[in-house]
């Protein structure tokens, strides 16, 4: 952020305001952590913030402080639309294009109040008055910490805010493993722990809360995994029937794609998940090293993300989608 940007934000926040804070659809730990961290921060500054998520957040994030206050647009459209129209300022966090909010997009497009974008994805759209958009960061939560520092408000950090920030840093960095994890990331985390963050409890809350069904589904996914050894690639498929068999609930497939990379020598992994209700195949891509899955997702599967983690979708059948993927992989220079 430039000094000018910081001043503009300070002016916008100088008087108490009704503020809407929005994560992307299908919010993850970073989206929920960043929006709730900002929520608690703005509450402390005497604003009237409210987090409006486009759709439900997964159960494994329900323990996050303040999650009970989050409004879900797709469950309560009239009320959420009214709140959005009444807002004097809108923060969009962990995404940079309105279409990432699904049906909420049409409401956001109509708003005329200032938008502040805080995000770490590539190629931001041009809707925000203030853009703190930087792909060098591993998480939006790390940027929220910086944002609070830029405003000279580090004194207002407390255990609650720190817990939300820690959650997004932890989840988006793959537990501090992904390449954008820096010394600074760890210095911030050290401060958060000093503020009381329960760093040995949070990973358990996030990662060790599987249902028996989820683990069985993971077992099936691993059995479905195919390896294209000569291209150092692996992929997993899950059909709607398989999801049904294990009583799939939201969040159950989170993270499964990463198992593909845990095979020795594999640098590119994908998972294809059939969604009969939305009539799409939802795809996640992960890579290790220089192979750019953001580019791959953008070019071939109507998606995007980051160099080592991206997603996309296909409106073709699962088998046609996988056939297309296999063909593309065989053309890769891995």
Per partner kind, with CB cut-offs from 5 to 8 A, the member of Mn ion, ligand 5GP, none near residue 27 is: none
Per partner kind, with CB cut-offs from 5 to 8 A, the member of Mn ion, ligand 5GP, none near residue 304 is: ligand 5GP
Size of the site for ligand 5GP (CB under 6 A): 11
Residues 275-314 that bind ligand 5GP (CB under 6 A): 284, 303-306, 309-313
CB of 46 to Mn ion, least distance (A): 28
CB of 139 to Mn ion, least distance (A): 5
To the nearest 10°, report the CA torsion of 314, 316, 317, 321.
-60
Position 252 contacts Mn ion (CB under 5 A): no
Residues 113-172 that bind ligand 5GP (CB under 6 A): 121
Name which of 55 and 160 has its Cβ closer to ligand 5GP: 55
Distance CA 308, CA 47 (A): 37
CB of 18 to ligand 5GP, least distance (A): 27
If you search the block for the tokens 């921060």, which residue do you land on? 41
Stretch that binds Mn ion, among 83-91, 94-102, 250-258, 321-329 (CB under 5 A): 94-102
Per partner kind, with CB cut-offs from 5 to 8 A, the member of Mn ion, ligand 5GP, none near residue 311 is: ligand 5GP
Per partner kind, with CB cut-offs from 5 to 8 A, the member of ligand 5GP, Mn ion, none near residue 310 is: ligand 5GP
Per partner kind, with CB cut-offs from 5 to 8 A, the member of ligand 5GP, Mn ion, none near residue 133 is: none
CB of 323 to Mn ion, least distance (A): 31
CB of 311 to ligand 5GP, least distance (A): 2
Distance CA 119, CA 142 (A): 10
SS (H, E, C) the chain: CCHHHHHHHHHHCCCCCEEEEECCCCCCHHHHHHHHHHHHHHHHCCCEEEEEECCCCCHHHCCCCCHHHCEEHHHCHHHHHHHHHHCCEEEEECCCCHHHHHHHHHHHHHCCCCEEEEECCCCCCCCCCEEEECCCCCCHHHHHHHHHHHCCCHHHCCHHHHHHHHHHHHHHCCCCCCCCCCHHHHHHHHHHHHCCCCCCCHHHHHHCCCCHHHHHHHHHHHHHCEEEHHHCEEEEEECHHHHHHCCCCCCCCCCHHHHHHHCCCCCEEEEEEEECCCCEEEEEEEECCCCCHHHHHHHHCCCEECCCEEEEEECCCHHHHHHHHHHHHHHCCC
CB of 227 to ligand 5GP, least distance (A): 20
CB of 82 to ligand 5GP, least distance (A): 28
Tell me which of 66, 70, 91, 172 binds Mn ion, using CB under 5 A.
Answer: 172
CB of 138 to ligand 5GP, least distance (A): 11
Binding mask 135-154 for Mn ion (x = CB under 5 A): -----x--------------
Distance CA 181, CA 174 (A): 9
Position 94 contacts Mn ion (CB under 5 A): yes
Distance CA 245, CA 223 (A): 15
Tell me which of 26, 29, 30, 285 binds Mn ion, using CB under 5 A.
Answer: 30
Residue 199 CA from chain centroid, whole number: 20
Name which of 8 and 135 has its Cβ closer to ligand 5GP: 135
Name which of 119 and 252 has its Cβ closer to Mn ion: 119
Quote the tokens at residue 126: 């041009």
- Determine contact, residues 249/282, Cβ cutoff 8 Å: no
**Cβ-closest residue to Mn ion?**
30
Name which of 25 and 231 has its Cβ closer to Mn ion: 25
What does the binding site for ligand 5GP look like in residue numbers (CB under 6 A)? 121, 284, 303-306, 309-313
What does the binding site for Mn ion look like in residue numbers (CB under 5 A)? 30, 94, 140, 172
């Amino acid at each position: 952020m430039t000094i000018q940007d910081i001043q503009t934000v300070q002016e916008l926040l100088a008087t108490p305001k009704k503020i809407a804070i929005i994560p992307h659809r299908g919010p993850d730990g970073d989206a929920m952590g960043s929006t709730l961290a900002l929520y608690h921060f703005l509450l402390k500054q005497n604003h009237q913030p409210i987090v409006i998520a486009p759709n439900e957040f997964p159960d494994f994030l329900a323990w996050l402080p303040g999650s009970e206050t989050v409004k879900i647009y797709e469950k309560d459209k009239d009320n959420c639309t009214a709140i959005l129209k009444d807002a004097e300022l809108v923060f969009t966090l962990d995404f940079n294009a309105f279409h990432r909010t699904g049906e909420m997009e049409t409401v956001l497009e109509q708003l005329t109040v200032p938008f502040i974008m805080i995000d770490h994805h590539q190629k931001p759209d041009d809707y925000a008055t203030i853009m703190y958009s930087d792909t060098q960061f591993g998480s939006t939560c790390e940027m929220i910490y910086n944002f609070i520092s830029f405003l000279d408000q580090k004194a207002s950090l407390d255990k609650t805010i720190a817990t939300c920030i820690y959650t997004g840093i932890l989840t988006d960095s793959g537990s501090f493993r992904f390449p954008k994890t820096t010394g600074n990331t760890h210095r911030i985390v050290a401060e958060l722990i000093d503020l009381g963050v329960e760093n040995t409890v949070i990973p358990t809350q996030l990662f060790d809360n599987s249902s028996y069904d989820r683990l069985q589904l993971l077992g099936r996914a691993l059995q479905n995994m195919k390896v294209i050894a000569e291209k150092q690639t692996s992929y997993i498929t899950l059909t709607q029937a398989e999801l049904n068999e294990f009583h799939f609930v939201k969040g159950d497939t989170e993270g499964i794609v990463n198992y593909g990379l845990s095979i020795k020598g594999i640098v590119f992994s994908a998972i294809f998940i059939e969604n009969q209700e939305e009539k799409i195949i939802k795809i996640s891509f992960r890579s290790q090293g220089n192979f750019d899955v953001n580019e791959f997702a953008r070019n071939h599967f109507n998606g995007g993300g980051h160099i080592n983690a991206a997603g996309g979708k296909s409106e073709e059948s699962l088998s046609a989608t996988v056939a297309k993927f296999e063909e593309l992989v065989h053309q890769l220079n891995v």
